Structure 1
Amino acid sequence: MALSRAHALWQGQSTLIEPHQGFTYAAGAGFRSPVGFGVTLMPLRHPYEAALQARSVAMTTGHPVVAGFGPGPAIFQENMLGRPYPSQLTAVREYVTVVRGLLGGGAIDFRGEYFGYRGILPPAVAPKVEIGLGVLRRGMARLAGEVADVAVTWLTPAAWLADTIMPALREGAKAAGRDMPRVAAMVPVALRRPDRTPAEQALASNAMHLQAPHYIDMLRKAGVGVTGKNTAADAAALVEGGAFVSGDVEQVLTGLKEFEQAGADEIILNLTGVYNLQGPDETTNELKSLLGALTGQKLR
């Protein structure tokens, strides 16, 4: 394959193949690259396990890892833990505190309202593990500015990133006296083809998100006309509102450029809709087309 501007693989939370195991399997098969988790869900693992898993992936791949975390939907928290976190931001702050402390190599002694740990993660030589937070709205973005290395967005239109997420990140970083975290924008995308519609691709990619209250709230605040009741219409609204990028190659590249102009340091191409409807071969070909266009090269 020709060189491209792609430099890392990212994986969101999966209930088919657990993402840490997937990346470790790929590394064992000889495919090693920097990776990112955007994001894994906190209720699935204690922060000690989260730190251990993230560092294990760094060691097995031999490359840096972005360990992105998020609390997940309230109903998921309730199903896993018996009740949602009464304070999402407090739970995330404590989780990150423990994970960062353990990855730092020293002993920690932390007791919070939701998470704590006393002890150490045995030292090891490993590539860097950065901590990411999934951000949709202003509160979590401000917290990410305070405590995260990377802010990871998903389904956020470029204008929402520029006008809401970026100012909140800067505000949080300033309050904490630290540099602003990098921004990794996960953008669901599909090329327009005669045999499919953008709305179909958007629905195949984001049906579950269109039923989640925190996504619905963010999208409405961003001016995307979702209802939370009619998923087909809501999927079309994602395309219309720029949360799902579609069109020919040039139109898609223009849409991705908007995220760069909004402040994204890294743009992650997510072709889940293509994969779910057209399969892995078509997904690979589509990704090659986009990466080739980004570099002016045709990938083989």
Structure 2
Amino acid sequence: METSVIFPVMPKDPTDAVPFAELVAGGDFARLWQGQSLAIESHQMFAYLAGMGFRFPVGTSVTLMPLRHPMEAAAHARSLARLTGRRMTLGIGPGSPDFVAGLRGEPYESPRAACADYLRQLRGFLGGRRTDGERRADDERRADGERREEVSGHGSRQSGLPDLGHPGVEIGLGVLRPALARVAGELADAAITWMTPPAYLARDVVPALHRGARAAGRPVPRLVTVVHVAVARGGRDPRQLAFTAARAHLGAPHYTDMLKRAGLRVHPSQPYLNARALVDSGTFVYGTAREVAAALSEYGRAGVDEVVLNPAGVGLAHGWNAAVEDLAELSAEISLAQTDLIA
């Protein structure tokens, strides 16, 4: 299992992300991730780092579909792959119904269908070809009466991108529950999850990925999971850190529904109590560096291919230097644990 790191906030100063980039460039982590940023835009932040000489793999986890046409999304992703000289992971997701309605005038009638259509268009603009199994899966969805959500009236057949030599783009889909996990299995290269406990991944998400891949006759996408972490130190309250890090998600119905399915007692109207549930269940991983490393190994056993460390709680409460200190300590402990495992 690879270990990566996310810069977890919308940057207002590009230099804020440089210490994170230095950790990745130094070999501590495999990849640098960012979510959707409406401050310094995520792709432009990565391009800034590439211009500084940081040429390592990057990924978005995730950018929101309503903000850009699949053709533009493909163009941005190819550009980053070219600028970094490394394969880029383009993670996309539908966003909340309210967010979608604010941009489109109405929510997606079927987020599942909208994601599937967006992924198909992305694949087309990036030059990929659909397998016979993917076509059969499409036929089955239409036979079941699933409406196809049109992202745009102009797909890859109507327009294209000029040739651009680049190392490639891995297409990822943000998933929380089995329905979108199956879509990822059918159409994506990676499934990207947030705050998903390992037992829930093993029981619900991984089987759905396999079902989707089997239906489409294609390899199972790799599984990437973003995990909130913090090293135990004096003056730190893990429940407050969890609330600080995840308060927006902890009040979102789709996240609380996922956490309920995972067995946590949560409700969207009680974000602070939900933060306590994250800590008490180990979903927010807190402890000594050795304890955190041991807890993260559970994700590998659940079927995760890449775990992404999210130090938002410490960064927002104690500063990004403290977050980087945690990450460096965790990287060393994870490397030591992996060495012991191999030995």
Q: Same fold (TM over 0.5)?
A: yes
Given that residues 198 and 302 in structure 2 are in contact (C-alpha distance below 8 angstroms), is that contact kept between their aligned partners in structure 1? yes
Larger mean CA deviation between 12-21 and 182-191 belongs to 12-21
Given that residues 145 and 180 in structure 1 are in contact (C-alpha distance below 8 angstroms), is that contact kept between their aligned partners in structure 2? yes
Aligned to 2:163: 123
What code does the residue aligned with 2:267 have?
T
Aligned to 1:11: 34
Q: Give a deviation string over 1:201-223, Cα, whole Å, max 9, x none.
A: 11111111011111111011111
| Cα displacement (A) at 1:278 | 1.1
Distance 1:191 1:123 in 2: 46
Aligned to 2:264: 224
What code does the residue aligned with 1:113 have?
E
Aligned to 1:29: 52
1:84 aligns with 2:107: yes
1:294 aligns with 2:317: no
Distance 1:203 1:53 in 2: 33
Taking a change above 3 Å as real, the CA distance of residues 138 and 105 of structure 1, as seen in their structure-2 partners, is: closer
Give the CA RMSD over aligned residues. 1.6
What code does the residue aligned with 1:98 have?
Q
What code does the residue aligned with 1:114 have?
E
Given that residues 265 and 274 in structure 2 are in contact (C-alpha distance below 8 angstroms), is that contact kept between their aligned partners in structure 1? yes
Q: Give a deviation string over 1:2-23, Cα, whole Å, max 9, x none.
A: 9645211111112222110110
Distance 1:174 1:148 in 2: 13
Distance 1:241 1:73 in 2: 25
SS of residue in 1 equivalent to 2:193 = strand
Structure 1: gaps (5+ residues):
107-111
| Cα displacement (A) at 1:296 | 3.0
Distance 1:199 1:289 in 2: 21
Runs of 4+ in structure 1 deviating by more than 6 angstroms, as ranges, are: none
What code does the residue aligned with 1:16 have?
A
1:176 aligned to which of 212, 216, 224: 216
1:58 aligned to which of 69, 81, 85: 81
Q: TM-score, normalised by structure 1?
A: 0.94
1:68 aligned to which of 82, 91, 94: 91
| Cα displacement (A) at 1:246 | 1.0
Q: TM-score, normalised by structure 2?
A: 0.82
Aligned to 1:133: 173
Given that residues 260 and 266 in structure 2 are in contact (C-alpha distance below 8 angstroms), is that contact kept between their aligned partners in structure 1? yes
Question: What is the total number of aligned residue pairs between the two structures?
Answer: 292
| Cα displacement (A) at 1:242 | 2.7
| Cα displacement (A) at 1:241 | 2.1
Given that residues 133 and 151 in structure 1 are in contact (C-alpha distance below 8 angstroms), is that contact kept between their aligned partners in structure 2? yes
Aligned to 1:38: 61
Q: Give a deviation string over 1:180-234, Cα, whole Å, max 9, x none.
A: 0001111111112220111111111111101111111101111111111222111
What code does the residue aligned with 1:161 have?
L
Alignment map for 1:87-236 (pairs within 5 Å): 87-104=110-127, 113-115=149-151, 116-117=154-155, 118-236=158-276
Aligned to 2:313: 273
SS of residue in 2 equivalent to 1:119 = coil
What code does the residue aligned with 1:19 have?
S
